[in-house]
A = this chain, B = another copy of it.
Amino acid sequence: MCQLLGMNCNVPTDICFSFAGFRARGGLTDHHRDGWGIAFFEGAGARVFLDPSPSADSPVAELVKHYPIRSLNVIAHIRKATQGEVRLENTHPFQRELWGRYWIFAHNGNLKNFAPTLTGRFQPVGTTDSELAFCYLLDRLAQRFPQGTRDIAELHAELHAELRALAIEIGSHGEFNFLLSDGNQLFAHCSSRLCYIVRKAPFPVAHLADEDLTVDFNEVTTPLDRVAVIATTPLTDNECWTQIAPGNLLAFRDGEPVALRDTTTVAQDYPRGTVTNA
């Protein structure tokens, strides 16, 4: 299995603190040694750093840790291969363009007997179930919204509902936790395990679960900042993370989750100060 990390904010924010702990899981504090990747949206552009080597040893990860790229939407992934060899083309997150926007996708889980029919517009380059699911998602979105506009905000509710239906359809083939972003919003789907935290004023002093590192966010933020961090399991051991109920797709915008109206979000709090591996 793999690990996911996402960030969605109302002001461009660097992910250095969370990434430091997340990265340790790629070979140091956990066994996800089969590559890693991270994508940052900056305006309409996206920067994707991929490395098929373990994140704990990666010079690219070292750069990302020390070079504060500020972004409204970030998606990162460390891999424990289930389907597809350890190769660059099988390294998450994956990127495609649809409606003149980049889309970034990363998956945690394992899909079995998943062989959808594709139109050919989006085709996997590698051999993972994850990239196939991403291509299928975009293929269906392109068919459902052929006139897709640059102002995705207009389509928001419809897009959210369509993605929810697709997540349920694909999820019938197995575990399908994923993060997806077009730079405007970040979708987080929980099939088995995915949690989040919203940090806003008054900001906490947070301590990483995977490294002995503490940060006082009051020193690096303004009172109006709001930052949502989404992860497979909590990254800090002294904050209260909210588990996303299995079967839910949240859309994070401006640093907070917007639930789909017709779904019920059953938030389950993790006990404070506990690293839960739910």
Residues of A within 8 A of B (CB): 42-52, 59-60, 63, 66-67, 87-91, 95-97, 99-102, 120-126, 146
Contacts and interface: CB of A to CB of B under 8 A. Distances in A.
A123 B100 contact: yes
Counted per complex, copies of this chain come to: 2
A130 to B, nearest CB: 14
Contacts of A44: 87-89, 125-126
17 contacts: A42-B52, A42-B87, A42-B88, A43-B87, A44-B89, A45-B87, A45-B89, A45-B91, A45-B126, A49-B49, A59-B66, A60-B63, A63-B63, A95-B95, A97-B122, A102-B125, A120-B146
A114 B23 CA distance: 45
A100 B127 CA distance: 11
Q: Is the interface of A mostly helix, strand, loop or mixed?
A: mixed
A50 B46 CA distance: 9
A123 B97 CA distance: 8
Given A59-B67, A63-B63, A96-B97, A88 B122 contact: no
Given A43-B88, A44-B89, A102-B125, 16 more contacts: A43-B87, A44-B88, A44-B125, A45-B88, A45-B89, A45-B90, A45-B125, A45-B126, A47-B49, A47-B88, A48-B48, A49-B49, A63-B63, A97-B122, A97-B123, A97-B125
A126 B87 CA distance: 30
A49 B100 CA distance: 20
A39 to B, nearest CB: 11
A122 B102 CA distance: 11
Contacts of A60: 63, 67
Contacts of A46: 88
Nearest to A123: B100
A59 B63 contact: yes
Contacts of A91: 45
A117 to B, nearest CB: 15
Given A48-B48, A50-B45, A100 B124 contact: yes
Nearest to A87: B43
A50 B50 contact: no
| 4 shortest interchain CB distances as A-B pairs | A45-B88, A45-B89, A100-B123, A44-B89
A6 to B, nearest CB: 19
A125 B96 contact: no
B126 A99 contact: no
A95 B94 CA distance: 12
A202 to B, nearest CB: 33
A150 to B, nearest CB: 9
